[in-house]
Structure 1
């Protein structure tokens, strides 16, 4: 089994991650029909920076770089220790990602375990996350790690009726 530990991102790692994260988040929002394409990347960047005004040093936020046993990067994660809707004791996993060349090698579960440990050490009693319904790989990972559905949004297209 893969072994992963986490550490706080460096400023350079954080800046690179923010560029990629804004593009990915905007694309997910557009694909889900929640945002128009126009200005989506800028909107995503602004939302992220509102939550992370001091970068990797932002209080009550964990911006983590996952590394393997040799210290090589395998992924990254972002955890808010205060839930965005105020749920007491529940941290929120905003983002987790295994780097492309490390996927399908067991690093996803190992990174998730390391992130859970970091959140627990920081005082969280539980960790919550959102996942897009089309992301079957992530849904499988989270279900296999013991996550349960606590809320669910559903949508039906009314075009073509």
Structure 2
């Protein structure tokens, strides 16, 4: 397995992540037909700001950078220690990303396992996440890592 560790995001990493996160999340919401394209990035930024009112210092949020032994940053993870719907003991994985040039080498699995370890160390007994249906790679990773579907939203074009 790929060796990596997690450390808190720096200010610069957090700033860059906020831009990338809003763009990526908005694009997924638009692709899923849940938001119109116009104003989607701004909407994503607002939603993220509501969840992170104190930025990197927001209490009960883990904002972490994945690094390999050489010190190179290869990904990021955002975990909320309090479930958004109040499920006791269940942390929530808001974002997990391996840098594009590092994908396909086991980093995703290593990052997911490290994230689970961080949540467990903070007292979580389970970790929940949402994944867009079109993200087949992520869905396969979560399936193989033992995640179970708790709810499923489906659509058929008419």
Q: TM-score range by the shorter chain?
A: over 0.9
Q: Take 2:16 and 2:122, find their aligned partners in 1: how far apart are those partners?
A: 25
- Name the TM-score, length of structure 1 as normaliser: 0.96
Q: Take 1:114 and 1:57, find their aligned partners in 2: how far apart are those partners?
A: 21
Consecutive unaligned residues in structure 1, runs of 5 or more: none
Alignment of 1:1-161 (within 5 A): 1-158=1-158
| 1:57 CA displacement | 1.1
| 1:148 CA displacement | 0.8
- Name the TM-score, length of structure 2 as normaliser: 0.98
Kindly tell me the number of residue pairs found equivalent between the two proteins: 158
| 1:123 CA displacement | 1.1
Consecutive unaligned residues in structure 2, runs of 5 or more: none
Whether contact under 8 Å (1:67, 1:75) holds in the other structure is yes
| CA RMSD across the alignment | 0.7
